[in-house]
Amino acid sequence: MSGDTTSPGRLIVGRETRPKMPPYLKLRHDAGRGRWVLLAPERVLTPDQTAVAVLQLCDGTRTVEEIAAKLAEEYSAPADVIGKDVVDMLQDLADKGYIKG
């Protein structure tokens, strides 16, 4: 069901998408808790290390393909597996309004 939504303005994340974080999403290192947090209107998100690595590469110029390739190299993991994981994660964030194309 949820995959069928094609509302106007919904970003469908693909390998050619150049994702970026909107200005109201703030990725901050919380020194007191020793972890990264994402701050958004009335939300606190708790990204794991993989999510932080992806988000730090979402600068609006790199494509999802390039992000996956870079991470595959850094973590010596298969690019297609990472690519799918990155697309899924970014689509989830886009549907919550936290990633723009």
Would you give the distance in Å from CA 77 to the centre of its chain?
Answer: 18
Q: Is 95 in the site for other proteins (CB under 8 A)?
A: yes
What 8-state DSSP symbol labels residue 61? S
Q: How far is CA 9 from CA 12, 51, 91, 94, 101, in A?
A: 9, 24, 13, 10, 10
Q: Is 51 in the site for other proteins (CB under 8 A)?
A: yes
Q: Is 93 in the site for other proteins (CB under 8 A)?
A: yes
From the CB of 61, what's the least distance to other proteins, in Å?
Answer: 20
14, 16, 26, 59: residue in contact with other proteins (rule CB under 8 A): 26
Query: Which tokens is 87 given?
Result: 């697309």
Residue with tokens 């850094």: 74
**Residue ranges in contact with other proteins by CB under 8 A:** 1-2, 5, 7-11, 22-24, 26, 28, 30, 32-33, 35, 37-48, 50-51, 54, 85, 88-89, 92-97
